[in-house]
Structure 1
Amino acid sequence: MGRKEDDCENWRNGDVCSYTQSGSCKQRRHQPPLDTHYSQSDETSLRPDSAFLCNDAFSNNTAETEGKDGDEEDEEGHLDYHIGLVMKGRYKVLSTLGEGAFGRVVECIDTHKDERVAVKIMRNFETFCEVARSEIAVLEEINALDDGNTFACVRMLNWFEHEGHICIVFELLGLSTFEFLQQNNFLPFSVEQIRHMAFQIFRAVSFLHRNKMTHTDLKPENILFVCSDFDLEYDHITMCEQRKPRSLDVKVVDFGTVTFDHQHHESLVSTRHYRAPEVILELGWNQSCDVWSLGCVLFEFYLGQTLFPSHDCKEHLAMMEKVLGPIPSHLLQKTRKKHYVHNGRLNWDEWSSSDDYIRKHCQPLKHMKMKSEAEQQLFDLLSSMLEYDICRRITLEEALWHPFFSPLRT
């Protein structure tokens, strides 16, 4: 089930939008809206509901169908549910949280336990049913291997079928880290905040790696706060109010594209901006592609913006070279993408308009100023994670012992 290069964007999960009362559509800087999952509606919070809504008609349709007696299926295979629908005699739909190529996510009340949950309702097409069955198998494995809920992976609570749609029940979490950045005007997280979040994320993904799994789609949209509550603080440097999360507990979500070591590895994985160079160059990939993705994620936390805001594979490689230096010639020699290479170097026109865009949006890593020892340690860790050669790239197990995390280990 390989994908062509033209399908590079969000080829599995698609563009995802979360329900908002305002019906507005806020797009990510430098890229289209991406996945957001299991986002909790908190009426007592100071924040607006969720960050995205790409289809006003969907919002209106949700309101119009409230109170209908039955539920149907639309032409795109989505379950055309209504507010108040009870699925499996247990899960009562309260609101819509998100929509994507895979289906829709709704907030429900579990009437058996009197607690709120998120239910992912897959589209009734075989392709998405396969993805759902794969995700359920992975989540059951995670639940069995981590029965104490030690690692920061979202918990699957149940799954069932409703009118031919596979539905997966999850614990209800808060905003994604991307949504939080967006609602905070893309002001970056502090180094201390990054340290606490990264330690949990690294432990969770390292747990997957030890159990022969690769996530393959790590990005800020797939890292969610357990609780979205925040305090407003005035920042004297930026001269504006900032949101400070009350809790830095996070969880990794979206296991629909997890690949076991023994399984066939699709040639194309990851959302573009977090895609490792070996994937773009079709050199083959392993668990270290997750390490690269997390390096990009932490940089985004630090900068408040995407590290590689590209929509083209070769431009993406040129951005990497601008930030990290030249791609090693031995990797370029091995690529099947021969049109990417000229005279042993990346085939890139440094006088093009695209290069002007790169110079504007990409700063060499060596030119970034580090103000503290903690920042120096963070940059040293990121440099080890963003190694072109997977043989030189740090593992997450090794990364957890990096000096950056020493305050948390002690």
Structure 2
Amino acid sequence: MSSKRSTPRSKIDEIKALRGLSRQTKTNIRNRGLLLGSTLTTTLNSIVTNSDITPSNNSLVITKPSVPLLPLSKLITYRSLRERRGNPGLNLTNASLNSSLTSNSTVLNSSQRSVRIPRPPSKPREEELQKTKIDPQIEFSSLQKPISAGTALKLFRESLTNYEQSEILEYKEIYYLGFKSSKSGTSQGPNYGFDDEKGNFKLYKGDHIAYRYEILQLLGKGSFGQVCKCFDHKAKQNVAIKLVKSKKRFRHQAAVEVKVLDTLKKYDPDNANNVIRAEDHFIFRKHTCLVFELLSSSLYDLLKSNNFEGLSLSLIRRFAIQIFFSLKFIQKLNIIHCDLKPENILLKQANKSGLKVIDFGSSCFESEKVYTYIQSRFYRAPEIILGIPYSYSIDMWSAGCILAELFTGNALFPGESEAEQLQYIMEIRGVPPEDVLAMATRRKVFFNSSGSPRLVPNSKGKIHKPAAKDIRDEIKTDDALFLDLIIKCLEWDPGKRITPDEALSHEWILEGIPKPPTSRPTTSRPFLNKTLRGLAVNKNHNYKLSN
């Protein structure tokens, strides 16, 4: 027997069968790939044939392909497609169409409905953005107030100056911002550009004060600074704000004024003593700011509106009662006003007789007198001119001058200088008594060694001789009691001058009081006090200007 091992016939047949099956499988796969490629070509040709290119918007509209598309992910598994390089050999003459087909932006929904492929959005024009931009003030007005400084910076930084973006962090509550186009402090100058050369705060309508008050208009200005009308966005009411100059000497006097005003407010909780009421005070950009109730016009404005022809005695009496009540009140608090004049007495309301004494910027406590040059010249007491120690009585001298002016329409002693002012006084009241001159530290300025006045002509060359005129001729009234009250206010000796309490008991004042019941005497002090207070506080009558 041969040792060579032979392969069984059945095994050889099995191997041949397997090889034949393998060749048949490869042939089938190749044929299926060609079939699928042909199907894809047919489908795409159908898409191209049924496509609509819209020239107006350069967009492609694909409508209802005739043969469902087979996802590309299913095709790339076949070798016939793996061997393909580049895009399918399609006959596409439109470049944008070809780009659309080969990009990922072509999207077909599940139901194969028409889909428009939009163009990329163009950059919006700047003017269109401006139209849609919300005005910051309108946006701010829509917010609930107050807002925090952080919120203000986040939402309205562009409406704030560089200075304000830092300053606003000092404020916990923001009620108003103002307009960027109307703000100070944006240029070089005194106090970071907020002040003018005189130390006054630059006011712009619509600008803010302390992120709460809106500046409306200027009411007045003087040596101290300015007063402006503002709208309080917290209290929702108009107020008057006094902005004191930022210079050091004015800030010092403002501190005294704040102390006086706080005292007045403390002891007048019912706001019933005919003096101005300070609602608040604070420092804003180095300026002391005092917030007051907004009143009406002054007595000077009232005279001006009447062509300086004077007022009726009945109206003057109502004014006098209130003036004396205010002086009585501040005297009890040891306060000297130091600048009483028609401009500093304001009506509470237009065409009403109620009034208040304002402007305590020159005021002082009797025990803390600092300045010797005080009072406006026309209403300056002789002790101030002569250098005699002064007290509350200087305000009563001013009150007497005011009563005379309210009746005549003109100042009683309108001196151009301090020397002429004293001459005007002596022209009507005569030379001061020797005991008064003995107290004068400035006696030699106005009198010679023999005690005779040094008469100096004014700018027009006129000299006022002592005792050359009678007060009755100057005031020209038949009301002797009215004249008597004025004369007692214009007493040379401060110690003999009438006091506010005595003035309220003067016969001319009492003449205007309604008659009491017969069971009660006219001179009953409780009755007088009650009646006078009613005239001074509770009654705010309409008035007529003249008799």
Instruction: Identify the TM-score tier after normalising by the shorter chain.
Output: 0.7 to 0.9
Aligned to 1:331: 436
Structure-2 residue corresponding to 1:131: 253
Partner of 2:508: 404
> Hey, what's the Cα distance between the residues in 1 that align with 2:434 and 2:419?
15
Asked if residue 155 in structure 1 is aligned to residue 277 in structure 2, the reply is: yes
* Residue-by-residue CA offset, 1:118-165 (whole Å, 9 max, x unaligned): 111122111111122111111111000010111111110111222222
Deviations 1:53-91 (A, max 9, x none): xxxxxxxxxxxx994244422232222232111222211
1:395 to 499, 523, 529: 499
Deviation readout 1:216-249 (Å, 9 max, x if unpaired): 1111111111123xxxxxxxxxxxxxxxxx3111
Structure 1 stretch displaced more, 362-371 or 86-95: 362-371
| Residue of 183, 202, 227 corresponding to 1:80 | 202
Residues 318 and 348 in structure 1, CA contact (< 8 A), matched pair in contact too: no
The alpha-carbon deviation at position 333 of structure 1 amounts to 3.5
Aligned to 2:324: 202
Does structure 1 residue 267 correspond to structure 2 residue 383?
no
Highest Rg: 1 or 2?
A: 2
- Amino acid corresponding to residue 295 of structure 1 in structure 2: G
Return the match for 1:364 from 470, 474, 479: 470
- 253-262 or 313-322: bigger deviation: 313-322
* 1:342 and 2:452 are equivalent in the alignment: no
Residue 318 of structure 1 contacts residue 346 of structure 1 at CA under 8 Å; is this kept in 2? no
SS of alignment partner, residue 438 of structure 2: helix
User: Aligned partners of 1:355, 1:327: CA distance in 2, in Å?
Assistant: 24
Q: Which has the higher contact order (CA 8 A, sep 6+)?
A: 1
Query: In the alignment, what sits opposite 1:383?
Result: 487
The alignment covers a number of residue pairs equal to 325
Rounded to whole Å, the distance in 1 between the matches of 2:378 and 2:356 is: 21
Deviations 1:21-72 (A, max 9, x none): xxxxxxxxxxxxxxxxxxxxxxxxxxxxxxxxxxxxxxxxxxxx99424442
Distance change (3 Å), C-alpha of 1:313 and 1:146: same
Partner of 1:6 in structure 2?
none
Q: Deviation at 1:107?
A: 0.7
Q: 2:335 aligns with which of 201, 210, 213?
A: 213
Which secondary structure does the structure 2 equivalent of 1:224 belong to?
A: strand
The 8 Å contact of residues 152 and 201 in structure 1, kept in 2 or not, is answered as yes
Once the two structures are TM-superposed, the CA of residue 298 in structure 1 deviates from its matched residue by: 1.0
Structure 1 residue 207, shift from structure 2 partner: 0.5
Asked if the contact 1:67/1:84 (under 8 Å) is kept, the reply is no
Q: How does 1:212-361 map to 2 (within 5 A)?
A: 212-228=334-350, 246-337=351-442, 338-342=444-448, 344-349=450-455, 356=462, 358=464
Indicate yes or no: 2:182 matched with 1:68.
yes
Q: Contact 2:407–2:475 at 8 Å: present in 1 too?
A: no
Conservation of the 8 A alpha-carbon contact between 2:423 and 2:455? no
Q: Alignment partner of 1:334: what SS?
A: coil
Deviations 1:291-311 (A, max 9, x none): 111111111111110111112
8 Å CA contact retained: 1:332, 1:344: no
Equivalent AA in structure 2 for residue 405 of structure 1: I
* Equivalent residue, structure 2, for 1:170: 292
Quote how far apart the aligned CAs of 1:346 are: 3.6
Q: 1:371 offset after TM fit, Å? A: 4.9
Query: What is the CA-CA distance between 1:104 and the residue it aligns to?
Result: 1.6
Q: 2:456·2:463 contact (CA, 8 Å) conserved in 1?
A: no
C-alpha distance in structure 2 between counterparts of 1:104 and 1:335, whole Å: 35
- Describe the superposition over 1:256-284 as per-residue Cα deviations: whole angstroms up to 9, x where unpaired: 11111211342222111111111111121
Q: 1:94 to 1:339 in 2, by over 3 A?
A: closer
Shift of 1:358: 3.8
1:364 alignment partner AA: D
**Contact 1:329–1:344, Cα closer than 8 Å, also in 2:** no
Does the CA-based 8 Å contact 1:67-1:82 persist in structure 2? no
Identical columns (%): 31
The gaps in structure 1 that reach 5 residues or longer are: 1-64, 229-245
TM-score, length of structure 2 as denominator length: 0.56
Specify whether residues 335 and 118 from structure 1 end up closer, same or farther in structure 2 by C-alpha distance, changes over 3 A only: same
1:116 aligned to which of 238, 262, 275: 238
TM-score (ref. length: structure 1): 0.74
Note the C-alpha offset of 1:183: 2.7
Letter in 1 for 2:403: L
> Helix, strand or coil: the match of 2:496?
coil
Residue 265 of structure 2 contacts residue 277 of structure 2 at CA under 8 Å; is this kept in 1? yes
Distance 1:161 1:266 in 2: 24
Q: Partner amino acid for 1:323?
A: I
Q: If each structure's helix is expressed as a fraction of its own residues, which one has the higher value?
A: 2
- SS of aligned partner of 2:254: helix
8 Å CA contact 1:315, 1:354 repeated in 2: no
Letter in structure 2 aligned against 1:254:
D
Q: Is the 8 A contact 1:176 1:221 kept in 2?
A: yes
